[in-house]
Amino acid sequence: MDLNALLATPAVLPSMPKAVALLMSELAHHEPSLRRVNQLFGTDPALAARLLERANSDAFDAPRSVAGIAEALALLGTAQLRELVGTAPLGTTSRSVPGMNLQQFWRYSLATAKYARSLAGSVLQSQPAAYTAGLLHGMGELLIHLADPERVQSLNTLVGPLDLRRCKLETRIFGYCYSQVSAQLAQRWQLPESVVDALKYLHAPFDNRAYEPLAGVVHLAVWRVRAHEAGMGEKEMVVSFPDQVGLPLGLDIDMVLRQDPIDWTPKPDVDDGNGDDGSGSDADSLNVYLV
């Protein structure tokens, strides 16, 4: 399946049931807490994508200008947010996205967003854009799984969806990888070019005359969180560290690891997976990587 055909495939990108339920509960208040709403949207890639797509739509006369969740929330009223959340499709079963562990995917996406934001602050890049790119960078993997589950299942037996080698193998087989699909989705949602380019050049931020610091930031965040998911030890991380990306940003492996915003203490899995957006502890009932 070529990329255009993939993007034309009808697909439902699911949200976490607990995030949706908590948002609906908060938005039912006469005066919802914007801090709480911001946190909850920041835990869920699909909800964040729906919100940012709406904020960047022509209806608000600001297409391709809203990169962060807080900025998007400032544009939408409570009634619009209720409608957006209330119509969100839920990832309620393991078959919602065949071949994907959605709890792991949601947890991983949130951790990557936090890490990207932390690294962005250290190299003077936009932290809201870094968080958004980190949170959404894996959405293309869901679309690939939904479009061709049987073929992808064969791929999964070689390397898992969160394996550090995943992009190279997908590119060899499909001609593109998940982050390029995510970039096309972000382009369709009219997200800012900074976010689109961060996703487009995620796996080669400084190749072919490209110089995309934000892509480099997200690349390093992806490396760190996938290394954790793979259970890498210190020696394995040293060997796998992408210094060709870190050094142009002035970041070596020690500096990257010192920026760690994640509590890697294992948390019990929950059926719907969730977490906060790293901006506070107001969502700490959601059992993933709390700061």
Structure confidence by residue, pLDDT tens digits, 41-91: 999 999 999 999 999 999 888 789 999 999 999 999 999 999 999 999 998
Percentage of the chain modeled with pLDDT above 90: 77
Q: SS3 of 158, please?
A: helix
Give the per-residue pLDDT at 94: 67
DSSP 249: G
Contact 130, 217 (CB under 8 A): yes
Across 131-135, 136-140, 256-260, least confident range: 256-260
Q: Which CATH class is domain 96-258?
A: mainly alpha
pLDDT over 60 at 199, yes or no = yes
Q: Write down the mean pLDDT value for the chain.
A: 88
Task: Tell how many helices (H) and how many strands (E) occur in the chain.
Answer: 17, 0
Average pLDDT over residues 142-170: 93
Single-letter amino acid code for the residue at 89: P
- The DSSP secondary-structure symbol of 239 reads H
Give the pLDDT mean for 255-275: 65
Instruction: Calculate mean pLDDT across residues 167-176.
Output: 93
Checking if the pLDDT of 282 tops 60, the result is: no
pLDDT at 226: 96
What pLDDT score was predicted for residue 208? 63
The pLDDT tens digits of the residues spanning 174-196 come to 999 999 999 999 999 999 999 99
Q: Specify whether the CB–CB gap between 135 and 109 falls below 8 A.
A: yes
To the nearest 10 degrees (0 to 180), the angle between helices 102-122 and 213-229 is 140
The confidence score (pLDDT) of residue 124 equals: 94
**Domain-by-domain residue ranges, the chain?**
96-258
Instruction: State which amino acid sits at residue 264.
Output: W
Q: What is the pTM of this model?
A: 0.90
Angle (CA) 21-24-30 rounded to 5° is: 145
Q: What pLDDT is recorded for position 263?
A: 78
Rg (CA), the chain: 18
Contacts by 170-175, CB closer than 8 A, 24 or more apart = 170/144, 174/1, 174/144, 175/2, 175/3
Q: Which residue has the higher pLDDT, 62 or 115?
A: 115
Classify residue 267 by its DSSP letter: -
| pLDDT-above-70 percentage for the chain | 90
Q: Which runs of E-coded beta strand occur in 100-223?
A: none
